[in-house]
């Protein structure tokens, strides 16, 4: 996580987070911390909020009869947590998310699992239409507490250049 501190007055400081386009280097890997332990309440709330009616996520008796033997975490929750973990490292200064591709869910996630994630910078290029920004693609990998890969995906973002972020414009 990139954290900066800016003096905004006498004996007064403001923390800042995130990377500008110039700070990304292809091949760098950012380990996102802290991890997050998922509860069954998280899973049920997310499932119901998103109107997912599959009983594998909230009906223990149904899930007990499945090959997993218990409820599994809704896969969009896994992806959402991994994206959230990565924000301070890769998209705090994003102008826009441009897309997620190649999402792979490689191992089931259960309530009680703790997820950790990391992102590797795969590509970066200047934006042809936005001189104050560049395009960065990262590959994010999520692992559980046993280091088993549970999910991977590519994410592409439009990232502000130094001096062109919303924070820069409003003195955030």
Band the pLDDT of 172: cuts 50, 70, 90: low
Cα separation, 3 vs 88, in Å, equals: 8
pLDDT score for 1: 54
Indicate whether this model's pTM tops 0.75. yes
Q: What is the mean pLDDT of residues 156-171?
A: 85
How far is CA 161 from its chain centroid? Answer: 21
For residues 9 and 108, which has the higher predicted lDDT (pLDDT)? 108
pLDDT score for 121: 98
Band the pLDDT of 80: cuts 50, 70, 90: very high
pLDDT score for 135: 98
Transcribe the chain into DSSP letters.
Answer: --EEEEEEETTEEEEEE---GGG--TT-EEEEEEEEEPPHHHHHHHHHHTT---GGGT-HHHHHTSTTSS----HHHHHHHHHHHHIIIIITTEEEEEEEEEEEE-S---TT-EEEEEEEEEEEEE-SS-TTEEEEEEEEEEE-TT--EEEEEEEEEEEEPTT-SHHHHHT-
Cα separation, 32 vs 27, in Å, equals: 16
Which has the closest alpha carbon to 157: 81, 91, 84?
91
Q: What is the mean pLDDT of residues 23-42?
A: 96
The yes-or-no verdict on residue 3 having pLDDT over 70 is no
């Amino acid at each position: 996580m990139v954290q900066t501190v800016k003096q905004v007055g006498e004996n007064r400081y403001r923390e800042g987070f995130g990377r500008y386009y110039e700070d990304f280097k292809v091949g760098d890997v950012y380990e996102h911390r802290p991890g997050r332990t998922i509860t069954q309440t998280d899973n049920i709330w997310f499932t119901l909020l998103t109107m997912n009616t599959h009983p594998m996520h909230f009906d223990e008796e149904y899930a007990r009869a499945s090959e997993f033997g218990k409820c599994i975490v809704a896969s969009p929750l896994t992806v959402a947590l991994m994206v959230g973990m990565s924000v301070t490292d890769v998209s705090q200064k994003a102008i826009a998310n441009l897309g997620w591709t190649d999402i792979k869910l490689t191992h089931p996630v259960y309530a009680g699992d703790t997820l950790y994630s990391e992102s590797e910078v795969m590509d970066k290029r200047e934006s042809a239409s936005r001189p104050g920004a560049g395009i960065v693609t990262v590959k994010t990998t999520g692992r559980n507490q046993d280091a088993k890969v549970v999910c991977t995906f590519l994410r592409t973002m439009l990232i502000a250049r130094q001096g062109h972020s919303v924070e820069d414009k409003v003195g955030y």
